[in-house]
Structure 1
Amino acid sequence: MELLAVEAAGRGMAVAAAEELGEVAGPAYWYGGPVAGARVAGRLGVGLLEPADGWLAELPVEFTGREVRAGTVADAWALDRPAFVKPPRDKSFPADVYTDGSRLPAGLDPATPVLLSEVVTFAAEYRLFLLDGEIAAASRYAVFGRLDPRPLTAEGPEIAEFVRELVASGPALPSAVVVDVGQLLDPYRPGHRWAVVEANMAWFSHAYAADPARVLDVVLRAAGPRERVRPGDLPFVRAWSRPVLPGTR
């Protein structure tokens, strides 16, 4: 967040924390969590882009490398074997491998959407900030589940080719979005294969070792003035930040 704030200030933008907001003059942009975003989006006139909840589950297995399905907390409670369970977007409970449904945190709403996935091992994971379907900025962020950020090097061309195929063949994404991919270990194939980890909101994603200037370019598109949202991005505007149309509430 500090790196993006410095970059924004260098572009002549005023930077303020949500709790310090006063009167806002001119176009506004948002970088932060969805809870605070829900409080200020209407006031700031910001349209927040996010991938569809079921995007990962709709991907062909050639891109996920594992079975992924969309469900609810009630479906997760019924699990009788280990599975990776996560909320599609809001971090309402920890994304983790749960040995069975009884291990999920107590007090969850049974209707809460979740993604249910086979348990797999990613040798390395990479964060990609996409703008108009192309990688604008990228960083490795983990190795075997442990935080280990560094810029992309030799793996860059392979990841770029994988993303081109993903964008061309997979379900639609917002024009500004984050997609995490990884090297999936497969005991039945030598070496590794590329697979999608998940998709996230650019305005709620850590930059790690990615170029802050290019990350900010993506964030400004993903969380900028509602009136500037492109027609193709309108279906991806977070519901509580959508403009109110004449004759509706």
Structure 2
Amino acid sequence: MNTRTLFLSPRVTATGHALADAARRRGMRVEVLRDWRVPVESRGAAGASLYAGPLFADAVAGELGLGLVEAPPDWLTRLPYELTYRDVEFTTLAEARQLRRPAFVKPPNDKSFPARIYPDGSRLPGPDAVDDDIAVLVSDIVTFAVEYRLFVLDGEVRTGSRYLTDGQLDVVPLTEDPLRDEVLDFAGRVTVDHGLPSAIVVDIGRLTDGNWAVVEANAAWASGHYACDPDATLDVVLQAARPAQEFTAPDHPFLRPLPTVIRD
């Protein structure tokens, strides 16, 4: 019997259901947490893993004894231009509010405000809604003709899915996509020696001018799988969210800082 347990947030998504089914096929336990705290009997569960959004993960990962790896918040800014084909700046929301040009603005590793094109900085959420000092990525505007999600384990694409074409949802397994070889060729350039944890999701796409570029990197433990293979997706999630003591030195710089949660 597999002794691992996959924990899910109260809001179980299609990806959560798919991962739960894959986990049960392996003989794993699956437990849906009913609120934003971990039952006493589940705290520090041996072999725990988690699939959940960032806010929920911050609330429960510590009690589960988990480490969560993700890309550095400024990862996009570290990539060479030939992998992004746009300038990307890592700054604060307060600084981004001074923009006087259109730009794509997003929080790097959470969803504290919508990631989208803003006509200028005055359209960003104000300090009454989002703190001035949160980190943001400010990017030149580019147009992707097609976009792909890739679940990557130890530098290798384990499974992938097309998810957008011309900005519209268009979900197809990577194995059935005519650009599969180009996707994997470009992914190999991105995932080798470019500062990523052992388990991560990388989104890439082909621009309307034909060049391939990185869209962003996402935490595997919080990413939708679209048409990715659920079993391969689970492999990556289990590596990305696991007991903190299991992470070896190469992954330590990528561990998400978890807040101290004070319970009544």
State the match for 2:196 in structure 1. Answer: 173
1:71-86 correspondence to structure 2 within 5 Å: 71-86=91-106
Matches of 2:33 and 2:62, distance apart in 1: 13
Q: Is the 8 A contact 1:124 1:183 kept in 2?
A: yes
5 Å-filtered alignment, 1:1-249, equals 1-19=16-34, 21-22=38-39, 23-24=41-42, 25-106=45-126, 107-152=129-174, 153-170=177-194, 172-186=195-209, 192-240=210-258
Query: What is the rounded CA distance, in whole Å, between the counterparts of 1:97 and 1:137 in structure 2?
Result: 29
- Structure 2 stretches of 5 or more lacking a match? 1-15
What is the CA–CA distance in structure 1 between the aligned matches of 2:110 and 2:241, rounded to whole Å? 16
CA distance in 2, matches of 1:76, 1:157: 38
8 Å Cα contact 1:18/1:40 also seen in 2: no
**Structure 2 counterpart SS, 1:50:** coil
Give, in whole Å, the separation in 2 of the partners of 1:165 and 1:49: 21
TM-score normalised by length of structure 2: 0.86
2 CA distance for matches of 1:26 and 1:109? 36
Question: What per-residue deviation string (whole Å, max 9, x for no partner) do you get for residues 191-249 of structure 1?
Answer: x111000001000000000000000000000001111112210111111289xxxxxxx
* Aligned-pair CA distance for 1:165: 1.5
Residue type of the partner of 1:235? P
Q: Give the whole-Å Cα distance in 2 for the aligned partners of 1:49 and 1:241.
A: 15
Deviation at 1:157, TM superposition (A): 1.4
**Offset at 1:123?**
0.5
- Across the aligned residues of Structure 1 and Structure 2, the Cα RMSD in angstroms comes to 1.5
Asked whether the equivalents of residues 18 and 36 of structure 1 are also in contact (C-alpha less than 8 Å), the reply is no
Among the aligned pairs, what percent are the same residue?
Answer: 50
Which residue identity does 1:173 align to in structure 2? L
Measured in 1, the distance between the counterparts of 2:102 and 2:88 equals 13
Could you tell me which residue of structure 1 aligns to residue 13 of structure 2?
A: none
